Chain A
Amino acid sequence: MATPGQPMFTRRPGLAARLAFWSVLAISLIVLDSRFSALGWLRAGVVAVFYPVQLVVRAPFDFGGEVSGFLVRHRELQKENALLRDNQKQAAVHFARLNKLQEENEEFRRLLAMRQLSSYSGVPAEILGTPRDPFSQRVELDKGSNAGIEEGQPVVDGMGLVGQVTRVHAFSTEVTLITDRGQAVPAQIQRTGQRVLVFGGGGDMEVRYLPNHTDIQQGDVLVTSGIDRVYPAGLVVARVTRVSRPPDSTYARVSCLPIAGVDKSRLLLVLEKQGMPGQQ
């Protein structure tokens, strides 16, 4: 029963009206974030608040991984150990030669008065998780601006280029993988030195804008060219898996696969930004 004085029909906006109001709010938020990037502070705040929660939830899974790692069979360990020792021997020989070559190279560069190649140094970081975003290939790392990471830094693993830092929070970092559709890497074919552009294609990658007659074959390795001043020269990017030259097109269709464990590695290295030309 309505109490006396209470209006019989309350004028509350209808369901559709309320939906319209909140939709307009959400859409203006989308516009503000995507067109003007004006909401970084809001995102950073929410991330900072929920980062401890994320760590706590992950803890049992990390522990589980450690336990299963501990229970690896002895035989497997021995096998792995033998393999590693073999590799180590070979690597030591290579390394000795490399040292000598590097010295020679530096000598030549000095003679030619060229800029010294910068050596790679960086911050090691572990993958925290992969956000499920249908629009891009990304991973989240466990270090952020607290470790001196900045936007734009290249990220590698033991085998080659993995991606680029695109968003930095206080304690975590978002890395866009080279397989992301929005990513392009200036590279060169290791065999011929031809400069190419490698684009992400979702899971694989492709070389675009390469004239039909270009000398490129299946199995060719693409390395970064270093001309973009983002990625240092000589990082392994991808291996060509298929080349087709459609007769009705100006450009060859080249697909390739990343060599680095783009979706497998757990430990990554965030490399320092490359200096601008003229800087040492």
Chain B
Amino acid sequence: MKFHNRSALKFEPMQEWRMIGLTLLTAFLLKQIPWQGWLLTLRPDFMLIALLFWAQRRTEGIGFGIAFGLGILADVQDGVVLGQHALSYCVGVFLVQYFSRRLAMFTLPHQALQMFPLLLLTEIVALVAGWMSTRTPQGAWVLASAATGSLLWWAVAYAGKMPAAQIEK
């Protein structure tokens, strides 16, 4: 049996922070692309996935503060009420950190399956927050990004397991 020794495999701290910054920036830029039509509907929340990936990988350092800040950024980007995504990102980070040990035990496809209800709950929190504060929602298709998001998680988690991402100290 192959043993995934996660705790022994780490970036150097500086390198890791640079990596975190880079992935979050990439996620932000991906979101800025003028998406249209069904692509816009299926677009996963890149920033949320990047944030949750790091929150799961290292439970210290990446936490609610960063989730809150990125959430405000997402709120402004989407032109919705301020605090909506801040709240849902915080809930996402909580769920991922609460289940971080459990998630680490699974193979990647199973991890993606586990992420689906988690992302769904995160989206629903955003939906309810928006609904309470402003207007009636326009349809359940907004939850489609939870499905594409968990697929993206698979890809991101795979990238995180590649040898290049596991430079030992």
Residues of A whose CB lies within 8 Å of any CB of B are 15-16, 18-19, 21-23, 25-34, 39, 42-43, 46-47, 50, 53-54, 57-58, 61, 128-138, 140, 167, 174, 181-182, 202
Q: For B43, what are the chain A residues with a Cβ–Cβ distance below 8 Å? A: 132
A-B contact pairs, 23 of them (CB 8 A): A15-B94, A16-B94, A19-B90, A30-B81, A30-B132, A33-B83, A33-B133, A34-B133, A43-B82, A46-B73, A50-B73, A58-B32, A128-B34, A129-B35, A130-B36, A132-B43, A133-B78, A133-B79, A135-B137, A138-B79, A167-B79, A174-B79, A202-B138
Q: For B134, what are the chain A residues with a Cβ–Cβ distance below 8 Å? A: 34, 135-136
Is B142 close to A, CB under 8 A?
A: yes
Is B67 close to A, CB under 8 A?
A: yes
Given contacts A43-B76, A134-B130, 14 further A-B contacts (CB under 8 A): A22-B67, A26-B87, A27-B87, A30-B82, A33-B133, A46-B72, A46-B76, A50-B77, A132-B40, A134-B127, A134-B138, A134-B142, A135-B135, A181-B136
Is B91 close to A, CB under 8 A?
A: yes
Q: In the complex, how many angstroms separate the beta carbon of A183 from the nearest chain B beta carbon?
A: 11
Instruction: Name the prevailing secondary structure of the B interface residues.
Output: helix
The residue among B68, B82, B127, B129 with the most chain A CB atoms within 10 A of its own CB is B82
Could you say which interface size class chain B belongs to? 35 or more
Q: For B133, what are the chain A residues with a Cβ–Cβ distance below 8 Å? A: 30-31, 33-34
Q: Find out whether the CB atom of A140 lies under 8 angstroms from the CB atom of B79.
A: yes
User: Could you give, for residues 82-118 of chain B, a 1 whenever the CB lies within 8 Å of some chain A CB and a 0 otherwise?
Assistant: 1110110011001001100000000000000000000
Q: For A50, what are the chain B residues with a Cβ–Cβ distance below 8 Å? A: 32, 73, 76-77
Query: 8 closest Cβ contacts across the A-B interface?
Result: A29-B83, A26-B87, A30-B83, A134-B142, A34-B133, A33-B82, A22-B64, A19-B94
